[in-house]
Amino acid sequence: MTFTILGRDPETGKIGIGIATYSLAVGATCPFILPDSSVLTSQAAANPNIGKEIITLVKNGYTPVHATEQVVKHDPHPEYRQIALLTSTGEMSIHSGSKTRSFSGFSKGQNCIAIGNFLKSEQILIAMTEEFNGLDNGSSLSDRLIAALYAGKNSGGQQGSDGKHLDERSACLMVHTPGEQFPVNTRVDYSDDAITELKKAIDAYQPMHKFYLARAANPVNLPPQDRWSEDLDMSSG
């Protein structure tokens, strides 16, 4: 009951992932970022240990694609999993198990992958990659990922076992910029309209990201957060 977009910006080196689903708290279990390396999702019969195992193998010298292949190979239930990985250089590794709920599959685009299960049709995934690739170069990676999620939603989204539409109840977006200490990572764990709430969260968080990076690196002489926010409001007003 999930649709996901993994994307990269080859000009800036940014990598990111957007995911929306009927399941709750999807950000806690499915998406992962390997900074300056890859984004990945483990979904359908989600097992967060899969993402952790891939990250461990990469840290031990495996390439991201080889690590993903090894984890799928040794998983006792690969037929119930969907796993997709996209590296910052454009390499892809995709696994969509034969027993994931229909419609289930993936769509490859330029610098992106859409993957999902329990969907109304294949068109959802095609619409997502087309939307991601159709936006002009002036759009940020975050904007393109959110737009792709909306494209999936507006193309029919998820359907339940009775064929009825299922709303997106949780969503997550993660974007890593090279050289930054930690990624943008925003989540909606429960909502009746999770993609819209996710966009609100991104729009509110994004102007503050530099503050949180600066605070982590060197809090000395940094103004209080409320003062920083006031200065942002004044500069944008």
Q: For the residues 206-233, what does the mean pLDDT come to?
A: 88
SS3 120: coil
Confidence of residue 161 (pLDDT cuts 50, 70, 90): confident
| pLDDT tens column, 83-134 | 999 999 999 999 999 999 989 999 999 999 999 999 999 999 999 999 999 9
- How far apart are alpha carbons 63 and 52 in whole angstroms? 15
- How far apart are alpha carbons 89 and 77 in whole angstroms? 29
Please report the sign of the dihedral spanned by the C-alpha atoms of residue 69, residue 71, residue 77, residue 83: negative
Alpha helices in 85-139 (DSSP H): 123-134
Residue 227 burial by CB count (10 A; 0-12/13-18/19+): exposed, middle or buried?
A: exposed
User: 2-206: which CATH architecture?
Assistant: 4-Layer Sandwich (3.60)
Neighbours of 162 (CB within 10 A): 6
Q: What was the pLDDT predicted at 236?
A: 61
CB 1 within 8 A of CB 118: yes
